[in-house]
Amino acid sequence: MHYFINETLFNMNFQGRSYECMSDCPDMSSYMSRCHSCRVERGCFMVYDRTNYMGNQYFMRRGEYADYMSMMGMSDCIRSCRMIPMYRGSYRMRIYERENFGGQMYELMDDCDNIMDRYRMNNCMSCNVMDGHWLMYEQPHYRGRMMYMRPGEYRSFMNMGFSGMRFMSMRRITDSCY
């Protein structure tokens, strides 16, 4: 089942031109030069401050975001967005201490608010998402910068543009946002 996001993007405080997005959008510059606010009518999605789903990311669910930059601490306007499909199955992810699935490995099937406390693991450099959609956070207790992980193998977070960033907590994206 494919799920569409109904998102309308605007300048700050819903002023100026708008663009309604119904699927992934790797580059919004062809629709509008700057996007500083959005209204999410249903669903969940990630917004990025660079094109092609790069740069800082932020998870958004139903609601109005009049000035997303000040609320989320992002450095620029929304440049791309990715739909998070509805998922109701089981969740399973393996996290690894080192790149290329090296070092300690732990399998998660539920949220983990602190990998150091739970597993005595002080670094997570790669992962394999087998089932579900997840958010990984830079700090314990789901704080700091985040990264959206959909099913697939992620051999090196450093090669994905996250050099120097450690992921210390993980949360499942559940159907509660739909």
CA 64 – CA 14 distance, rounded (Å): 9
Contact 145, 93 (CB under 8 A): no
CATH superfamily, domain at 6-84: Crystallins (2.60.20.10)
Span 50-76, average pLDDT: 75
- Say yes or no to pLDDT of 45 above 80: yes
Structure confidence by residue, pLDDT tens digits, 150-161: 999 999 987 776
Backbone angles phi, psi at 23, to 5 degrees: -160, -170
- Say yes or no to pLDDT of 118 above 50: yes
Q: Where in the chain is the domain with CATH 2.60.20.10?
A: 6-84, 92-177
Q: What is this structure's pTM?
A: 0.82
Instruction: Give one word for 49, left, alpha or beta, with left for phi > 0 and alpha for psi -120 to 50.
Output: alpha
Architecture of domain 92-177: Sandwich (2.60)
Mean pLDDT across the chain: 82
Structure confidence by residue, pLDDT tens digits, 13-30: 565 667 777 788 899 877
